[in-house]
A and B are shown apart, each in its own frame.
Chain A
């Protein structure tokens, strides 16, 4: 009999996220992965600036709160000092793909043996719904009140695709958590990303397409639909880089 309970890698602290936000699901998937690999006691997580800023209160492993965008650099320092520990970052789209793009790309190209959980909900949530580097064309936000205009505000950055053009990173996959099937796939991907690290394979990044009902101006249910209708067509799910295939060939 399986008893559904809170993973050991989560604390008892109630989450502060808005109703319908999928951060809670993603936190749980990360915690389950740490539990299943039995690495909670040697894991150090790095929290970002953004909605997940207080992730350090929710994960029961040792935690570091990084400056905006700098989590991959902080994680690099931690991993270099403690190569046998498990180091992960948990970052949003503004943090990872805007202010922290240099840190992200360079950690990837060093194939830094860390795990990055990249939560893409196409908006800056914590500051109240401003345009993100991943906001869709035409998407209305506080700082694109007439819809994101590609002429002046450019087009979204597809992080998984972009990083996959690098030779070095080991594993990159995009998943979603808007329905049960997707959650199950996301779990597999996140587990794989941590297992890669434990096995010393190198840089793994899981992009999780997420929601922001509050700032999207949608009900939680509509937000989940919006992921299917708008987000996934622009950000197709799937494995973008998997160097384990190369290894088998060698």
Chain B
């Protein structure tokens, strides 16, 4: 099985980091993974996205043009990529930042006020990981336990406080 994931939002929302975590989670379960960021001149504020593929087979193209799963954290990304999602695919939407609902009715849309939740939980920079938690829940692509375990690889040993916060965010998204 191969799952093609596209994560998109504004630069600075942690879109690339969320993708990296997902890739690590896949790796943690001995799957083939690839992570490919968009790269451009903007460090902050511009749009950012990354392609993540988690597969049981060797991965060919690392570019996700037709995502099985789309995670969107701003409206421009939702507008741009909604049409690309495969039929029967899944879209996880940050409903704090995106006011509209999915136009398509041949996909499954999941709404989660990730940014609002992150603020309430005192982890305002981790809406991205709340989105990942929700995505894991809805796709079953990895288990929550493994996802939390994999976080240890992503968050450096120097920042163990961040590890706790990330695990909290993942769990909050998962349980929403």
CB–CB under 8 A between A and B in the complex? Answer: no
> Which B residues are within 8 Å of any A CB, using their own CB?
none
